[in-house]
């Protein structure tokens, strides 16, 4: 990997099934959104440079839920097999009360029936490894680690893609500071237990929740929110009298491996994910465009859908048609992604209700 190319145009080796008749793109951020965008553009024949401020790929993280629509996007990016190699289906999950009583089923069966395939869970490190491996296979892309985006550096690429997460420097430089991260009162905690609980879904209490999903054989992915909890001891105490296996999951996993994850979203929603005026065409994807709370588990899915849609629009219009391509991308993705972000925030308020009786009564009306 060439690490000397910050801000420069991409190299030009065409890959085995990537054409070479496209333009050049500078993608900022080597997270899920940036790497998937690079793959899509590369497959469309573009030469791509990815700038990543971290010194190496960041392999930490727990799990991603991959909705059937995002699975289709991965299929179109040529990554379906890599996903299915390690992903597990998510089925039989319930919403429970802290005493263990089942209130309702999560709507996974409905999703599977409608899409003809189940929601999948995949470990974040696996997906993060699969994306650069596919870029290596395609060739023609430099990933420059340890290279933060410098808005003042000379550009040179036909298209700039901001895939640099919730604190996007590209968004600040090219879209202004009107939209910025907004933090919720509660942080989320995420982790992996080294055993399979066999009990999946979410348990909703007063102002807090705990979720468990499968992720890989022999492991369980968990996530939780408690207002004001800042230490592992406080988190364990908050769930000490909740139903089995929640206290066991927290007792039997090493707090050193837990991740405390700020619950943030972008506010206000951007009026456009793209710009063509000023310093040349630019598009935002993933968290840079519409960071959302984790309640719906759609952060990675929406980033993948953005990436695939942007690459498809750019391929359809060619390097000379970037303004039309960016309009098409914005039209396809902005409202949809912003609806998901709003839905996730609304669900967060519902899940963490301080007076849960009415909420539980409403949830109890759903099929279990
Ligand atoms: C380390 C990490 C672990 C995560 N773990 C989980 C998890 O376990 N479960 C979950 O649901 N979600 C997790 N997420 C969030 C999830 O990956 C994103 O919400 C979602 O995938 C959207 O991806 P993205 O590519 O838009 O943004 P991100 O995943 O945030 O990627 C943005 C990338 O841009 C880079 N970057 C930022 N600023 C600059 C700059 N100025 N110049 C160059 N590069 C820059 C960042 O280092 C990062 O690699 C994690 C994110 C990170 C970064």
What's the pLDDT tens digit per position in 77-113? 999 999 999 999 999 999 999 999 999 999 999 999 9
Indicate the top mutation candidate among 31, 171, 299 to test ligand 1's pocket, ranked by most ligand atoms within 8 A of CB: 31
Whether residue 173 contacts residue 26, with contact meaning beta carbons closer than 8 Å, is answered with no
Q: Which residues pair with 182 in a beta bridge?
A: 265
Give me the pLDDT at residue 3, please: 28
CB 118 within 8 A of CB 89: yes
Which ligand 1 atom lies nearest to the CA of residue 65?
Answer: 11
Measured CA to CA, the distance from residue 95 to residue 363 in angstroms comes to 8
340 or 9: which leads in pLDDT: 340
Distance, CA of 75 to CA of 83 (rounded, Å): 9
Rounded CA-CA distance 243/131 in Å is 38
Dist. CA 269 → ligand 1 center (Å): 19
Closest CA to 205 of 75, 58, 351, 310: 351
Tell me the torsion sign for CA atoms 169, 170, 173, 179. Answer: negative
What is the whole-number distance in angstroms between the Cα of residue 31 and the centre of ligand 1?
A: 5
Q: Domain 24-64+123-182+265-346 adopts which CATH fold?
A: FAD/NAD(P)-binding domain (3.50.50)
- Tell me the pLDDT tens digit for each residue of 126-163: 999 999 999 999 998 899 999 999 998 877 899 999 99
Across the strands, what pairs with 203?
96, 210
Q: Which two tokens mark 29? A: 């951020």
Sign of CA dihedral 237, 241, 243, 245: positive
pLDDT at 271 over 90: yes
Cα 357 to ligand 1 centroid, rounded to whole Å: 36
Tell me how far the alpha carbon of residue 85 lies from the centroid of ligand 1, in angstroms: 23
Residue 65, SS3 per DSSP: strand
Q: Describe the crossing of helices 108-115 and 68-76 by its angle, rounded to 10 degrees.
A: 40
Please give the Cα distance from 252 to 204 (Å, whole number): 21
- pLDDT of amino acid 140: 85
C-alpha 200/C-alpha 202 separation (Å) is 7
Looking at the chain, the whole-number percentage of residues with pLDDT higher than 90 is 80
Average confidence score pLDDT of the chain: 91
User: What is the length of the chain?
Assistant: 368
Read out DSSP for 107-153? THHHHHHHHSS--EEEEHHHHHHHHHHHHHHH--EEEEET----TTS
Tokens of 223: 């996530």
Q: 165 CA to middle of ligand 1, Å?
A: 5
Domain boundaries, the chain: 24-64+123-182+265-346
The rounded distance, in Å, linking the Cα atoms of 32 and 37 is: 8
pLDDT band at 298 (very low <50, low <70, confident <90, very high): very high
Is a pLDDT exceeding 90 seen at residue 262? no
The confidence score (pLDDT) of residue 18 equals 58
* Contact 191 CB / ligand 1 (< 6 Å): no
Ligand 1: residue of 53, 70, 163, 165 to mutate (most ligand atoms within 8 A of CB) is 165
Ligand 1 pocket residue status of 41, Cβ below 6 Å = no
What is the tens place of the pLDDT at every residue in 15-71?
A: 335 555 789 999 999 999 999 999 999 999 999 999 999 999 888 889 999 999 999
Other residues' Cβ atoms within 10 Å of the Cβ of residue 167: 13
For the ranges 10-14, 179-183, 252-256, 354-358, the lowest mean pLDDT is seen at: 10-14
201 C-beta neighbours (distance < 10 Å), count: 21
Q: Higher pLDDT residue, 3 or 220?
A: 220
- CA-to-CA separations, 329 to 31, 151, 297, 333, 339, in angstroms, rounded: 20, 23, 23, 6, 16
CA quadruple 161, 322, 41, 158: dihedral, nearest 10: -60
**Mutation test residue for ligand 1: of 51, 57, 126, 164, the one with most atoms within 8 Å of CB:** 164
Quick one: pLDDT at residue 20?
A: 53
Residue 201's closest CA among 223, 168, 174?
Answer: 223
């Amino acid at each position: 990997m060439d690490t000397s190319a910050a801000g420069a145009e991409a190299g030009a080796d065409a890959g085995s099934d990537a054409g070479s008749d496209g333009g050049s793109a500078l993608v900022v951020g080597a997270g899920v959104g940036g790497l998937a965008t690079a793959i899509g553009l590369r497959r469309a024949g573009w030469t791509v440079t990815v700038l990543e401020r971290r010194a190496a790929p960041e392999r930490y993280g727990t799990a991603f839920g991959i909705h059937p629509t995002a699975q289709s996007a991965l299929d179109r990016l040529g990554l379906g097999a890599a996903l299915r190699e390690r992903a597990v289906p998510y089925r039989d999950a319930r919403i429970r009360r802290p005493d263990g009583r089942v209130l309702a089923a999560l709507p996974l069966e409905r999703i599977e029936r409608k899409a003809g395939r189940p929601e999948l869970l995949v470990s974040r490190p696996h997906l993060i490894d699969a994306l650069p491996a596919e870029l290596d296979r395609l060739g023609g892309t430099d990933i420059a680690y340890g290279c933060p985006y410098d808005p003042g550096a000379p550009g040179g690429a036909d298209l700039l893609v901001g895939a640099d997460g919730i604190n996007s420097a590209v968004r600040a430089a090219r879209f202004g500071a009107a939209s910025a991260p907004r933090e919720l009162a509660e942080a989320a905690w995420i982790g992996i237990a080294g055993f399979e609980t066999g009990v999946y879904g979410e348990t909703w209490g007063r102002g807090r929740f705990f979720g468990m999903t499968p992720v890989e054989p022999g492991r369980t992915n968990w996530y939780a929110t408690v207002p004001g909890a800042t230490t592992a001891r406080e988190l364990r105490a908050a769930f000490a009298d909740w139903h089995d296996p929640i206290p066991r999951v927290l007792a039997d996993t090493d707090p050193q491996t837990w991740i405390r994850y700020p619950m943030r979203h972008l506010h206000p929603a951007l009026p456009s994910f793209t710009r063509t005026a000023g310093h040349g065409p630019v598009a935002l994807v993933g968290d840079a465009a519409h960071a959302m709370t984790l309640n719906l588990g759609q952060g990675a899915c929406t980033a993948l859908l953005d990436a695939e849609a942007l690459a498809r629009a750019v391929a359809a219009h060619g390097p000379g048609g970037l303004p039309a391509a960016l309009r098409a991308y914005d039209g396809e993705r902005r409202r949809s992604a912003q609806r998901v972000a709003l839905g996730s925030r609304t669900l967060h308020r519902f899940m963490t209700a301080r007076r849960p009786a009415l909420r539980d009564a409403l949830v109890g009306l759903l099929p279990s």
